[in-house]
């Protein structure tokens, strides 16, 4: 074999390596998933699924060129105990890189003990992190007619879990729409179609920080 033959073979091999490296890197990113585990607030209750904040988040991620698959595993009426029971299968099936937990509202509406709420949330966070997933916790609040003792104890659960498990927290997910005219549906519990973009804007800095794996983007919205 001539020297020229070896030169050609080496050149061809070099081109192949240059092509394969970026392809390998792209494949590593392409499989990443963001799992949303929530209740009716995230399941687009009372509207078309395409109008809900989760679908709006999926669209925004695509528009920004982020190769992230969003899996919405939210179920209307879900409690933290139900979410905890479903999470192992979801983690096994989807192997998400990130998990957003939006649960607890139904626990509160049913008067479940805050301590049980806290235990369930902590177990979900721990379970996800054991599988290598980053976690964002979306907090909820109860209306004042449940009494100050219960509403205060309920609200305190989310920052306690976030602090104990060192995860990012949105203290009150519905904060920008709960008291706004037209922000809620006629039942006074579920956010309206018009409120969905505001919900996404409220948590977007946290979502970006979660995906980028950096520090929390806004202390007002995300508190570790």
- Neighbouring-strand partners of residue 134: 98
pLDDT score of 88: 98
Among 39, 190, 202, 209, the active-site one is 190
Is 50 in the active site?
Answer: no
Q: Report the C-alpha gap between 145 and 189 in whole angstroms.
A: 13
User: Region 134-152: what's the mean pLDDT?
Assistant: 96
Reported confidence tier of residue 108, pLDDT bands at 50, 70, 90: very high
Give alpha helix (H) positions in 31-147.
Answer: 53-63, 80-94, 105-109, 114-130
Q: State mean pLDDT over 61-87.
A: 97
* 22 pLDDT tier (thresholds 50, 70, 90): very low
Q: Point out the catalytic residue in the list 39, 40, 107, 202.
A: 40
pLDDT of residue 213: 79
Q: How confident is the model at residue 1 (pLDDT cuts 50, 70, 90)?
A: low
Task: Report yes or no on whether pTM surpasses 0.75.
Answer: yes
pLDDT (average), residues 195-222: 78
Task: Report, as an integer, the average pLDDT of 19-40.
Answer: 64
Termini Cα distance of the chain: 65
What CATH code would you report for 31-212?
3.40.50.1110
Q: What is the pLDDT of residue 4?
A: 54
The chain-wide mean pLDDT, for the chain, equals: 86
Residue 7: per-residue pLDDT: 52
Cα(195)–Cα(188) distance, rounded to whole angstroms? 13
Question: What average pLDDT does this structure show over 21-26?
Answer: 38
Our answer to whether residue 190 is catalytic in this structure is: yes
**What is the spatial distance between Cα 72 and Cα 68, in angstroms, rounded to a whole number?**
13
What's the confidence (pLDDT) of residue 223?
56
Q: Which of 39-43, 170-174, 211-215, 220-224 has the lowest average pLDDT?
A: 220-224
Q: Does the structure show a pLDDT above 70 at 5?
A: no
Q: What is the mean pLDDT of residues 189-193?
A: 95
**Does 25 score more than 70 pLDDT?**
no
> Which sequence spans correspond to the domains of the chain?
1-30, 31-212
Q: Is 40 a catalytic residue?
A: yes
Backbone angles phi and psi of 9, in degrees to 5: -65, -40
> Phi and psi dihedrals of 100, rounded to 5?
-110, 125
């Amino acid at each position: 074999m001539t020297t020229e033959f070896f030169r050609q073979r080496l050149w061809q091999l070099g081109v192949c390596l240059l092509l394969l490296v970026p392809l390998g890197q792209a494949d590593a990113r392409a499989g990443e998933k963001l799992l949303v585990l929530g209740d009716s607030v995230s399941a687009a209750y009372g509207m078309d699924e395409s109008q809900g904040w989760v679908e709006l988040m999926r669209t925004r991620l695509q528009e920004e060129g982020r190769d992230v698959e969003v899996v919405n595993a939210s179920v209307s009426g879900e409690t933290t105990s139900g979410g905890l029971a479903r999470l192992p299968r979801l983690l096994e099936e989807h192997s998400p890189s990130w998990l957003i937990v939006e649960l607890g509202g139904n626990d509160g509406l049913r008067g479940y003990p805050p301590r049980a709420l806290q235990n369930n949330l902590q177990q979900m966070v721990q379970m996800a992190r054991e599988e290598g997933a980053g976690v964002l916790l979306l907090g909820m609040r109860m209306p004042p007619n449940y009494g100050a003792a219960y509403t205060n104890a309920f609200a305190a659960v989310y920052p306690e879990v976030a602090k104990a498990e060192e995860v990012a927290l949105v203290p009150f997910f519905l904060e920008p729409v709960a008291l706004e005219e037209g922000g809620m549906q006629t039942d006074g519990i579920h956010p309206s179609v018009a409120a969905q973009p505001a919900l996404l804007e409220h948590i977007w800095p946290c979502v970006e920080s979660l995906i980028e794996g950096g520090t929390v983007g806004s202390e007002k919205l995300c508190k570790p």
